[in-house]
Each structure stands twice: as structure tokens, then as C-alpha cells.
Amino acid sequence: MPFEKILSDELGLVKEGYDELLLSVQQDTAAAWVSSNADEINKVLFCACPPSVQKKRLKFLGIACTLSSGVVCREAVEQAVVFVKDGAEKMRKEAAKLVGAYAETYFRSGRLEEFLDIVKEDVSADDINTVFASVTTLTKTVFDFPEYLKEKEDVLSVLCSAVEAQMKRESRMVLCACLGFAKTVATVIDRSSESVGKKALGMVFLVEEKHRKYFRVGMGHVIENLSSRFTEEDVLSWVPGRERSFVQYVLRMQRRRGFAVENKETWKSASKIRYTGKSKRKGEIKKGEIARIEKGVCNPRKRNSKEKIRLD
């Protein structure tokens, strides 16, 4: 029997057991096979997995996705989430697809909150890899089901509180995942979810000063997303006094980028006049005058002229 080989201590037998198990499932329908072997599947889910068999284990977890019983499916979710932070890129992609399939299964059965609770329990784990995988899974789930979760303000608030508690960790990897979660939440919520917006913004300022030089861009993205959902006055009113200058800087840069996009055609026509540096003919444009030319301040054909050029 494949289950007996999987539960053995010999690595060769474990591999053979997984191969036989996967072949037996392909020959039969998954639902019928799972229902007839539920007890054995429970034992396999609770047993240890050698590193060299993790890929086959991941395929087995995909089979367990068809289970509807709570215990087995819960264990499958917890183990699949751990594979999201696997060392191999291919394994990470397959694990992400599998976790997405689990979330879709729970969503169709109307139990998406239960799925989020299962993942949320591992957010406070001691292992930083498990924390990173759990926060990444929460981020992906919030991103995949925005229309459903934007109406569940209490669910998002609980998730924000769980992720916010991990902002004190010294791992930059975890901080990056937490800021990604805050950015996604700021993208999903609408104007009525003011309390969730405050929590997402509060997570930004929990980044310690020694780590901020690595995450200034990510912090700015959260602020920009919130300013697009709420007004700038609202965002500034939620900011502590010592952080106000940074938020004002981010909002000012956002306004400038918006102005550049609105005046894109004007900048294009002005940028046609460029200094090449190849010619030394009389009347050549200096490098320092490029900015003045692009703004339409001076005529490039007259060195000292203040006559404005036409940009059309």
C-alpha cells in the first residue's frame, strides 16, 4: 500500500509511496478516492516530509484540496502556505497556485473568512519564513477577492492588526511582506473604510528608523494609494506630527508626477531640442540651458535671448 510506504522511515520507500499514490489518483476520480481513503490521508498530512520529496508532497496537497472535511483541508492549507517561501522558484509558483485554489474553494463554499483565519494563525509564528509565507498569502487573498473583502471591514481590521504586530521584527523580509500587505489593503478599501485606512497608514510608521532607507519607496506607495482613496487632508490628519514632513513630501511628488502626465505632449515637443555635445559651432547650446529650453524660457538660437520659444 502506498500509505504504508509514505509513513516508513526509509527515503526510497517514501518516494515510491508518493509515486504510487499519485498514479492511483490519476486512474480514479479524485473525489471518490479521497472519500474512501480519508483516514489514511489524515495520517499522511500529519507525518514529516523529507526535503527531497517536497515536490511530490505539494502535488499530494493539491489532491487533498478536493476534501471538504475541516481537519484534513485545514492541514493541507497550513502546509501549502509554508511552501510559498520555498527555496526553489518553481516550487514557490506551484505553491502560490495551490494556495489560490484553496482560497477559491473556500470562497465558493462561503467560508473565505475561515481560510483567512487558518492563514492568520501562522502570522505570529516564530519562524520568519512561515511569517513571510503567511503574510504573502494574506496579501494575495485580499488582492484576489477585493469586491468581497471591501464589504468586510471587520475582517480587514483583524488582519491588519495581526500583520501590524509583526512590524517590530528585525527581518527586512518580513517588513517587506507587511508593507506589501498594507499597500494591497490601501488599494482594496473604499472611502467608507476609514478605520482600516488608518491602520494601514499606521503600519507604515512602525518601520524603525534604521530600516527606513530600504523601504522609503514602499512606504510612499502605501501613502499614495490611501491618498487616492481618501483626500490628502484626511491622510494628513491621521499622521503623527513627527511624520508629517515625510507624508507631505510623498504627496507633493505625487502631484508633480500627475502634472507631468497631464502635460505630456508639451514636454515631448520641448524635449526635441537637445544638446548633443558633438558640434562646436557658434551658437551651440550649453548643457546648463537644457532645462531652460524645455521649460520654454529662452530661444536656443539666441544665446542670451529671453524670448520664449513656441512648443507646438
Same-domain status, 211 and 281:
no
Q: pLDDT of 48-62, one tens digit each?
A: 777 777 777 777 777
pLDDT at position 266 is 55
Same domain, 73 and 169: no
* 199 and 311 co-located in one domain: no
For residue 267, tell me if it sits in a domain: no
Residues composing the chain: 312
**Predicted pLDDT at 26:** 58
- Amino acid (one-letter) located at 49: C
Asked if residue 50 is part of any domain, the answer here is yes
Residue 305 is predicted with a pLDDT of: 47
pLDDT of residue 138: 92
Helix or strand (DSSP H, E) at 285: none
Regions of the chain with pLDDT less than 70: 1, 25-35, 38, 42, 45-46, 64-73, 86-87, 259-312
Q: Is residue 157 part of a domain?
A: yes
Q: What is the pLDDT of residue 183?
A: 92
- The pLDDT of residue 108 is 84
131 with 255, same domain: the answer is yes
pLDDT of residue 90: 77
Q: Is residue 106, in this structure, part of any structural domain at all?
A: no
**Looking at residue 182, what is its pLDDT?**
93
- What pLDDT, on the 0 to 100 scale, is given for residue 310? 43
Of 148, 49, 130, 55, the C-alpha closest to 85 is 130
- Domain encompassing residue 291: 272-312
Q: Is 123 within a domain?
A: yes
Same domain, 258 and 119: yes
Measure the CA–CA gap between 158 and 156, rounded to whole angstroms.
5
- Cα-trace Rg, the chain: 28
Q: Which of 285, 275, 278, 221 is nearest to 251 (CA)?
A: 221
pLDDT for the residue numbered 31: 62
Measured CA to CA, the distance from residue 262 to residue 108 in angstroms comes to: 43
Q: Are residue 179 and residue 198 in the same domain, yes or no? A: yes
Regarding whether 139 and 10 lie in a shared domain, the answer is: no
Note the pLDDT of residue 265: 60
105 assigned to some structural domain: no
User: Where does a domain end: 68, 98, 128?
Assistant: 98
Q: Out of 243, 262, 281, pick the residue that ends a domain.
A: 262
How confident is the model at residue 242, as a pLDDT? 85
Instruction: Tell whether 156 and 78 lie within a shared domain.
Output: no
- Residue 187 gets the label, from left (phi > 0), alpha (psi -120 to 50) or beta, of alpha
Is 104 inside any structural domain?
no
User: How many domains does the chain divide into?
Assistant: 3
Residue 160: the pLDDT is 92
- Whether residue 82 is found in the same domain as residue 195: no
For 20, residues 6+ apart whose C-beta sits below 8 A from its C-beta are 2, 5
pLDDT of 213-225, one tens digit each?
A: 889 888 999 999 8
Q: Are residues 19 and 44 in the same domain?
A: yes
The verdict on 134 and 249 lying in the same domain is yes
Q: Given this model, what pLDDT does residue 64 score?
A: 64
CA 184 vs. chain centroid, Å, equals 7
Indicate whether 10 belongs to any domain: yes
- Give yes or no: residues 30 and 57 share one domain: yes
pLDDT value, residue 29: 61
What does the pLDDT look like over 110-135, one tens digit per residue? 888 888 998 998 888 888 888 999 99
From 262, 281, 301, the end of a domain falls on 262
